[in-house]
């Protein structure tokens, strides 16, 4: 089987996994609410926390993270005959398509989330140490500001810096991917950036009952 066919197969699997609209399905199945019609109108974990509460938010968060982790680990299980670089390339392609699936899910009228939790899952599967540092940056910024979006933006900004300059990865594909995923997550938060500047962004306290 050629490399291109492998890419097509795993990209399709990744997109379908990414298209699982956890926030929409949890909201409609158990609360009779479409989270995309409330709050920030975003089908992600943060809006789920706000609209449906902590329990639903945690479930959605875990599901969205797991989508990314599972998809990028699948190629490692089935492509042991490929070189490490080709394996990484297919993992990264899978990561891109699970991310796109989350943003534009075929199972939810192409109205998805912003991909923060899923991108965390992707980098956990591909580069756990960089994911760990990025998550710590997110926590520090979020707990200090109470802005989930600001934590995601700052962590996304530093992720490629962590990969390029702290771990000094040799894979050009991995380095390029870190830049793409970081920039894309930031771009999906353009409205949040404007609201933060205007002082209109909603804060969140996860420890509030």
Q: Is residue 171 part of a domain?
A: yes
Position 169 pLDDT exceeds 70: yes
The pLDDT, as a whole number, for residue 1 is 60
Q: Is residue 127 part of a domain?
A: yes
The pLDDT, as a whole number, for residue 3 is 82
The pLDDT, as a whole number, for residue 84 is 74
> What is the arithmetic mean of pLDDT over 72-84?
82
The pLDDT, as a whole number, for residue 80 is 74
pTM: 0.89
The pLDDT, as a whole number, for residue 170 is 83
Q: Where are the alpha helices (DSSP H) in the chain?
A: 3-18, 22-26, 45-52, 54-78, 84-103, 116-126, 128-145, 148-161, 172-187, 190-198
Q: Write the CB contacts of 102 (distance below 8 Å, at least 6 apart in sequence).
A: 18, 19, 64, 67, 112, 113, 115, 118
Q: How many domains does the chain have?
A: 1
Residues 116 and 114: their CA atoms lie apart, in Å, by 6
Contact 155, 138 (CB under 8 A): yes
Q: Is residue 205 part of a domain?
A: no
65 pLDDT band (50/70/90 cuts)?
A: very high
Domain limits at 166? 3-198
Q: Is residue 208 part of a domain?
A: no
Q: Is residue 170 part of a domain?
A: yes
Position 151 pLDDT exceeds 90: yes
Nearest Cα residue to 116 out of 70, 152, 142: 152
Q: Is residue 185 part of a domain?
A: yes
The pLDDT, as a whole number, for residue 56 is 96
- The mean of the pLDDT values for the chain is 91
The pLDDT, as a whole number, for residue 124 is 95
Q: Is residue 207 part of a domain?
A: no
136 pLDDT band (50/70/90 cuts)?
A: very high
Residues 121 and 62: their CA atoms lie apart, in Å, by 9
User: For residue range 184-209, what is the model confidence (pLDDT) as tens digits?
Assistant: 999 999 999 999 999 999 888 765 54
The pLDDT, as a whole number, for residue 143 is 93
């Amino acid at each position: 089987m050629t490399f291109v066919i492998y890419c097509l197969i795993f990209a399709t699997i990744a997109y379908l996994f990414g298209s699982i609209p956890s926030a929409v399905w949890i909201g409609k199945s158990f609360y009779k609410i479409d989270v995309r019609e409330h709050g920030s109108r975003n089908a992600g974990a943060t809006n789920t926390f706000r609209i449906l509460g902590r329990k639903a938010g945690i479930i959605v968060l875990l599901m969205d993270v797991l989508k990314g982790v599972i998809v990028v680990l699948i190629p490692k299980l089935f492509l042991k005959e490929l070189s490490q670089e080709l394996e990484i390339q297919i993992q990264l392609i899978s990561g891109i398509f699970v991310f796109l699936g989350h943003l534009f899910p075929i199972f939810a009228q192409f109205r998805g989330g912003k991909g923060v939790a899923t991108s965390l899952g992707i980098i956990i599967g591909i580069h756990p140490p960089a994911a760990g540092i990025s998550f710590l940056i997110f926590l520090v910024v979020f707990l200090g500001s109470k802005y989930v979006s600001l934590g995601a933006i700052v962590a996304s900004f530093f992720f490629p810096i962590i990969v390029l300059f702290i771990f000094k990865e040799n894979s050009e594909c991995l380095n390029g991917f870190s830049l793409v995923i970081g920039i894309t997550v930031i771009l999906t938060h353009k409205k949040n950036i404007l609201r933060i500047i205007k002082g209109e962004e909603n804060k969140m306290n996860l420890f509030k009952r």
